[in-house]
Amino acid sequence: MECKKSNLHVLLVSFPAQGHINPLLRLAKCLASKGLLVTFSTTETIGHMMKEATNTKSTNIGQGELRFEFFSDGWEIDEPQRANLATWMHQLKTAGRESFIELINRQSETGKPVSCIINNPFVPWATDVAAELEIPCAVLWVQSCAVYSIYYNFQHQLASFPNPDQRDMVLDLPSLPSLEFDDIPDFLTLNPFDSLRKVILSQFKNLDKAFCVLVDSFEELERETIEVMSRISAPIKPVGPLFRSTKNASVRGDIWKATDDCLQWLDSQSPNSVVYVSFGSVVALSSEQLQELSAGLLKSGTPFLWVVKTPPPDMGSKPELPQGFKEEAEGKGMVVEWCPQEQVLAHSAVSCFITHCGWNSSMECLTSGVPVVAFPQWGDQNTNAKFLIDVYGVGIRAKKTPTGKNGAPVVTRDEVERCIFEVTKGANAEEIKKNAVKWKEAAEAAVADGGSSHRNIELFVDDIQRMACNKSGFNDQISLTAEDVHTLTAEDVRTSISMP
């Protein structure tokens, strides 16, 4: 196969969750726009949901092509064992791995062999597959560089981390601000999901098999951390914010069908008047927290757009809003199943974003110029909240009090009302908005032609092409010696193989 761009084939494999699909698919569209053939893959179960919710047909993007192909995890969609995270992760690593290899082999059989595999941290076995098949591999880190640094330091025991009995201990790492116990990803401290922690950390054992780590961030946002980590780990290329790099908004990876009429509803609202509320695709609030949040939104007197989604079949039942809430909220707010978040955050009617602080949402609001009310729940959300508020200065963090069931901490309705007021009309609201706009402009510059992230994408494509050329040249020369071996001397063969 020739190594020109149109013959390069990049295969991206995503962990089957909305927060992982989004950045991988955005990267897929970005690479396709550079003239490459790109195949996006995840499990068939999630692939079916994507087909139901959006367009997953092959499409031309720029001079390239984006295709969708899915692999099986070996279970039916209603398999009860999916509820056991550790069991399902093992199933994905075994049955999913074998099906993924078959998918790769099919590409070669159809004359489109894979030039490069890109995976994310929750499918580290894809890196092993790439190594076994001698296919160049890169990783897209779907969290911040700061969180990358924290996990790396933990995995390699480069610092002492607090445990639940050391809540007063402060963690100090190079290039990062001092982190208190609640600022550290709780997969490392409280460890509620042991299987997830093991999967995340296992990626760092495989990084030497990847030729680079791509990050959905940008140099201007995390420059010092990127420089520090690039010296001690695999080379890091920030290529974000990816949602601003992609031109084809019609190709989406939603698991739930977006409610487009929410944009029409926003059109009917005054500028900077609507509170947007979303906790991503995984977070499920307790009934006590739903009660307090809904009451706080009504009490604030501010129009709101609230995403309350139905989780996938293996992730529990739909959260129930308080009885009578929808009737009381009529004319004051809108509740939807899912929405095109990038377009919502870009809408002039939105004044602030109450968010769980997942990295996708953090990047989207940070680079859309929208102030935030940080409402983190677990994992890296705690760290992202710390940076959004204390480092980037784009909002405030909602405070929890132990008033929930069995003394569980919740954000009260009074705190919800206070936070909305403070971030939109309070004494620091103007400064918060100013900072948000500053980061928006920096993000736009990063992905513009010649910007830091734009250059890194170009360099990454060049790397793939260079490796394909080297491999193609080597194979072509081997093929030549096999055909003409009767006319070549041993010295001819050695010279041919060693040619650059």
Q: Which residue is it, tokens 């460890």? A: 191
20 given a catalytic annotation: yes
User: What gap in Å lies between CA 384 and CA 241, rounded to an integer?
Assistant: 15
User: What gap in Å lies between CA 226 and CA 267, rounded to an integer?
Assistant: 40
Angle at 210 (CA atoms; ends 208, 213), nearest 5 degrees: 105
Q: List the alpha helices (DSSP H) in 349-489.
A: 359-366, 381-386, 413-424, 429-447, 452-483
C-alpha dihedral, 10 to 11 to 17 to 22, nearest 10°: 20
How does strand 64-68 pair with strand 59-61?
antiparallel
Q: Is 138 helix (H, G, I), strand (E, B) or coil?
A: strand
Q: Which residue is it, tokens 């990050």? A: 215
Active-site residue, from 20, 347, 356, 454: 20
* Per-position b or e across 178-193, b if 16+ CB within 10 A of its CB: ebebbbbbbbbbeeeb
At position 375, the amino acid (one-letter code) is F
Q: Is 179 helix (H, G, I), strand (E, B) or coil?
A: strand
User: What gap in Å lies between CA 392 and CA 476, rounded to an integer?
Assistant: 52
Sequence-distant (≥ 6) Cβ neighbours of residue 16 within 8 angstroms: 42, 43, 45, 46, 73, 92
What Cα–Cα distance (Å) separates residue 3 from each residue in 59, 442, 466, 474?
22, 35, 8, 12
User: What gap in Å lies between CA 49 and CA 91, rounded to an integer?
Assistant: 20
Residue 263: name the closest of 278, 251, 276 by CA. Answer: 276
User: In the sheet where 137-141 sits, what is the strand order?
Assistant: 59-61, 64-68, 37-41, 9-13, 116-119, 137-141, 212-215, 236-238
Cβ pair 206, 125 in contact under 8 A: no
User: Which tokens is 421 given?
Assistant: 């007021």
At position 137, the amino acid (one-letter code) is C
Helix, strand counts (H, E) of the chain? 19, 14
Which are the catalytic amino acids? 20
